[in-house]
């Protein structure tokens, strides 16, 4: 059997002499593990220190292992001699140690642990780090949304239900709604992170160990919040389902955002426009500006609907005894990468999207989307119930449509007639009050309920979004600070072992 070779040469070993086990299992596994190399080394160092502190491994053995492991870590994965016939990084590192220190010393590294709990620990450390990166991108998107909301604070747009104009809205209010949705997504990611950040090291094979270990100590060294309490659960990666569920919500919200802007950028709507740098051209239609960046987000969101179901399907198998299918599903990396990329792109879109004020005013000027405000006026100032007022205004709109009259042509006399037809009573209203009640700008300015499109409430929503964003960034920073503190504690513990 050939000896260890360089990483690049190991790839060349995939030839006719390779076994299916190597080609389809070992080497793909090692390819994914190379991204987690530093986590493997961090765990090895923590494990050795803990074993020495518990007198489970002789201190002199630890004093040989620790400097060698530190050297392997500092040199990085590409300097690690790779034996293509060894199955995982566990064996590669142990082999490298054996060449340097001898098999007796190197073999002590794996005392009181299994590849099961080692790789489970690696996975949790790696994915907590990548999840924090996604949460960074959520914060960045929220920041772009808040900044854009401040820029567009006075811009009105139509709001729709059933794809029909419902009421006048505000573009800042619209953008802040996505900041609020992303806040819920951030909180889902927080919950997923709390489930990820539990230490399975020390659960060993499935039943624990009779050797003396301190799982709380490795939890401290590795920056976990707590231990996986039950040894049979050490391998389980249920947290992957929590992660992809949270990511699926993010993509769902990004799809809504992109779909709205995609529709509003069409010639038929014309409410918004993206700069040329976000658009493609047509090979045949000279007039086209294709908002392909929005289509990119929508296309990426499509597969996300299957992320959770695929993860749960991966976990099926021979009950709790099936080792492979209870591991981390292969599509988790792609889900994390896709979500991060689309959050970045959506943030750029939010920063650069332009509103066509003239077109919006034209549409709102012709629409009946302010009639609910007229109904409110009749209820407040003419003693009608909201249902009676609704009926009168509906009759007024029907009369105008039947006669081809627009909103600007409505008169107090027409309102009186609508009242007589609908309720059998005349309803008086001045022309000024009537047209003010139907004016989109007045509609928006008179909204005062909490969370509404009124100017004061938009200011409140903006301040709330800013406060939540600050809290989110502080939370992510505290998580990373805990990891850095854990490394510092481990470094000090290594020094203490080497000093004696």
DSSP secondary structure letters along 90-155 = HHHHHHHHHHHH-HHHHGGGGTT--HHHHHHHHHHHHHHHHHHHHHHHHHHHHHHHHHHHHHTTT-
Residue 243 has pLDDT above 60, yes or no: yes
User: 220 and 273: one domain?
Assistant: yes
Q: Is residue 66 part of a domain?
A: yes
CA 256 to chain centre: 15
CA distances (Å), origin 87, targets 19, 23, 45: 12, 11, 21
Residue 112 to residue 231: CA distance in whole angstroms: 13
**Contact call for residues 84 and 22 (beta carbons, < 8 A):** yes
Count the neighbouring beta carbons within 10 Å of the beta carbon of residue 179. Answer: 25
In this prediction, residues 369-391 reach a mean pLDDT of 95
Name the domain count of the chain: 3
CB 237 within 8 A of CB 120: yes
Query: Which uninterrupted H or E stretch holds 166?
Result: strand 164-170
Q: How far apart are CA 478 and CA 223, in angstroms?
A: 11
Residues 239 and 331 in one domain: yes
Per cent of the chain over pLDDT 90 is: 83
Hey, how many other C-beta atoms are within 10 angstroms of the C-beta on 159?
Answer: 15
Model confidence at 25, pLDDT cuts 50, 70, 90, reads low
Predicted pLDDT at 285: 86
Looking at residue 438, its pLDDT comes to: 96
pLDDT at 3 over 50: no
Inter-residue contact 1 to 85 (CB < 8 Å): yes
Cα distances (Å, whole numbers) of residue 336 to 198, 444, 462:
20, 39, 28
Q: Are residues 90 and 32 in the same domain?
A: yes
Is residue 9 included in any domain, yes or no?
A: no
DSSP 416: H
Give the span between the Cα atoms of 86 and 93, in whole angstroms.
10
pLDDT level of residue 330 (50, 70, 90 thresholds): confident
Task: Tally the C-alpha atoms within 13 A of residue 235's C-alpha that lie toward its C-beta.
Answer: 19
Query: To which residue do tokens 């409505």 refer?
Result: 410
Are 143 and 285 in a shared domain? yes
Number of separate helices (H) and strands (E) present in the chain: 21, 6
- What are the tens digits of pLDDT across the range 245-296? 999 999 999 999 999 999 999 999 999 999 999 999 888 987 889 999 999 9
Q: What is the CATH number of the domain that holds 290?
A: 1.20.200.10
Residue 9 has a pLDDT of: 44
pLDDT at site 113: 95
Domain boundary among 111, 134, 152: 111
* Distance (Å, whole) CA 104 – CA 36: 26
Q: pLDDT tier at 81 (50, 70, 90 boundaries)?
A: confident
The residue to which tokens 């955002």 are assigned: 257
The reply to whether 205 and 325 lie within a common domain is yes
Are residue 372 and residue 356 in the same domain, yes or no? no
CA distances from 216 to 50, 221, 229 (A): 10, 9, 11
Average pLDDT for 12-32: 64
* Nearest in space to 99 (alpha carbons), one of 71, 57, 122, 59: 71
For residue 313, what pLDDT is reported?
Answer: 87
Of 52, 80, 111, the last residue of a domain is 111
- What pLDDT is recorded for position 491? 98
- DSSP code of 424? S
Question: Looking at residue 83, what is its pLDDT?
Answer: 79
pLDDT value, residue 123: 95
Q: Which CATH number is 435's domain given?
A: 1.10.40.30
CB 271 within 8 A of CB 355: yes
Residue 272 token pair: 């918004």
119-158 per-position pLDDT tens digit: 999 999 999 999 999 999 999 999 999 999 999 999 999 9
In angstroms, the CA 43 to CA 199 distance is: 11
344 inside domain: yes
Q: Are 83 and 134 found together in one domain?
A: no
Position 5 scores a pLDDT of 45
Answering whether pTM is above 0.85, one says yes
77, 111, 145 - which closes a domain: 111
DSSP classification of residue 409: G
Rank 44-58, 225-239, 286-300 by mean pLDDT and report only the highest. Answer: 44-58
Question: Quick one: average pLDDT of 443-469?
Answer: 97
φ, ψ for residue 322 (rounded to 5)? -85, 110
b/e map of 305-333 (b: 16 or more CB within 10 Å)? eebbebbeebbeeeeeeeeeebbbbebbe
Long-range contacts of 7-10, Cβ-Cβ distance < 8 Å, separation of 24 or more: 7/34, 7/77, 7/78, 7/80, 7/82, 9/82, 10/82, 10/83, 10/84
Closest residue by Cα to residue 2 from 72, 102, 82: 82
124, 228 Cβ separation under 8 angstroms: no
Which pLDDT score is estimated for 7?
46
Full 3-state SS string of 228-262 = CCCHHHCCCCCHHHHHHHHHHHHHHHHHHHHHHHH
Q: Nearest 5°: phi and psi at 280? A: -105, 175
Lowest mean pLDDT among 274-288, 390-404, 452-466: 274-288
Rounded to whole angstroms, how far apart are CA atoms 21 and 298? 38
> Which domain covers residue 336, as residue numbers?
125-362+461-488
Mean pLDDT of the residues in the chain: 92
pLDDT of residue 32: 75
pLDDT band at 111 (very low <50, low <70, confident <90, very high): very high
At residue 10, the pLDDT reads: 45
130 Cβ neighbours under 8 A, 6+ residues apart: 333, 336
Distance CA 130, CA 122 (A): 12
Distance from C-alpha of 423 to C-alpha of 418, rounded to nearest angstrom: 8
Same domain, 377 and 475: no
Q: What confidence tens digit (pLDDT) does each residue in 175-232 have?
A: 999 999 999 999 999 999 999 999 999 999 889 999 999 999 999 999 999 999 999 9
pLDDT at 12 over 80: no
The domain spanning residue 31 has which CATH number? 1.10.275.10
The answer to which of 43-57, 74-88, 281-295, 445-459 has the lowest mean pLDDT is 74-88
- Tell me if 8 is assigned to some domain: no
Residues 307, 190: one domain? Answer: yes
Indicate if 98 and 139 belong to the same structural domain.
no
Residue 393 belongs to some domain of the structure: yes
Categorize the per-residue pLDDT at 452 as very low, low, confident or very high, splitting at 50, 70 and 90.
very high
Residue 14 pLDDT class (50, 70, 90 cuts): very low
Do 199 and 290 lie in one domain? The reply is yes
Domain contains 5: no
145 versus 9: the higher-pLDDT residue is 145
Note whether 409 and 471 are same-domain residues: no
pLDDT for the residue numbered 264? 98
- In whole angstroms, give the CA distance from residue 371 to residue 396: 10
Residue 11's pLDDT is 43
Is residue 160 assigned to a domain?
yes
Question: Would you say residue 352 lies in a domain?
Answer: yes
The pLDDT assigned to 295 comes to 98
Q: 84 falls in which pLDDT band (50, 70, 90)?
A: confident
Residue 371 has pLDDT above 60, yes or no: yes
């Amino acid at each position: 059997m050939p000896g260890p070779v360089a990483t690049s040469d190991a790839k060349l070993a995939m030839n006719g002499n390779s076994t299916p086990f190597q080609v389809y299992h070992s080497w793909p596994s090692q390819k994914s593990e190379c991204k987690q190399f530093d986590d493997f080394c961090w765990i090895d160092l923590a494990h050795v220190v803990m074993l020495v502190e518990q007198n489970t491994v002789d201190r002199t053995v630890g004093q040989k292992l620790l400097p060698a492991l530190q050297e392997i870590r500092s040199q990085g994965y590409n300097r690690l001699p790779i034996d293509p016939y060894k199955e995982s990084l566990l064996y590669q590192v142990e082999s490298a140690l054996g060449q340097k220190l001898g098999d007796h010393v190197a073999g002590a590294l794996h005392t009181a642990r299994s590849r099961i709990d080692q790789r489970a620990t690696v996975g949790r450390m790696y994915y907590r780090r990548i999840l924090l990166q996604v949460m960074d991108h959520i914060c960045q998107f929220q920041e772009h949304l808040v900044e854009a909301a401040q820029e567009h604070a006075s811009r009105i747009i139509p709001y729709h239900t059933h794809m029909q104009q419902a009421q006048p809205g505000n573009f800042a209010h619209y953008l802040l709604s996505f900041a609020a949705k992303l806040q819920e997504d951030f909180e889902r990611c927080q919950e997923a992170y709390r489930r990820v950040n539990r230490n399975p090291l020390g659960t060993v094979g499935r039943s624990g160990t009779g050797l003396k270990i301190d799982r709380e100590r490795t939890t401290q060294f590795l920056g976990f919040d707590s231990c996986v309490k039950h040894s049979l659960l050490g391998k389980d990666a249920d947290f992957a389902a929590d992660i992809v569920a949270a990511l699926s919500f993010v993509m769902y919200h990004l799809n809504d955002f992109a779909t709205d802007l995609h529709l509003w950028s069409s010639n038929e709507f014309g409410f918004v426009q993206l700069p040329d740098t976000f658009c493609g051209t047509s090979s045949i239609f000279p007039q086209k500006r294709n908002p392909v960046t929005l289509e990119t987000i929508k296309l990426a969101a499509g597969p996300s609907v299957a992320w959770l179901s695929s993860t749960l399907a991966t976990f099926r198998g021979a009950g709790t005894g099936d080792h492979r299918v209870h591991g981390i599903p292969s599509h988790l990396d792609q889900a994390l990468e896709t979500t991060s990329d689309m959050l970045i792109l959506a943030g750029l879109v939010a920063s650069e999207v332009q509103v066509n004020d003239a077109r919006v005013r034209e549409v709102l000027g012709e629409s009946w989307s302010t009639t609910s405000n007229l109904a409110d006026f009749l209820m407040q100032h003419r003693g009608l119930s909201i249902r009676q007022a609704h009926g009168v205004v509906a009759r007024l709109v029907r009369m105008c449509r039947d006669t081809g009259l627009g909103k600007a042509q409505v008169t107090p006399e027409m309102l009186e007639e609508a009242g007589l037809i609908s309720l059998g009573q005349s309803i008086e209203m001045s022309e000024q009050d009537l047209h003010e009640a139907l004016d989109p700008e007045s509609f928006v300015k008179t909204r005062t309920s909490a969370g509404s499109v009124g100017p004061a409430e938009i200011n409140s929503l903006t301040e709330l979004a800013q406060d939540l964003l600050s809290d989110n960034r502080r939370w992510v920073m505290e998580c990373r600070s805990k990891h850095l503190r854990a490394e510092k504690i481990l470094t000090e513990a290594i020094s203490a072992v080497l000093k004696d």
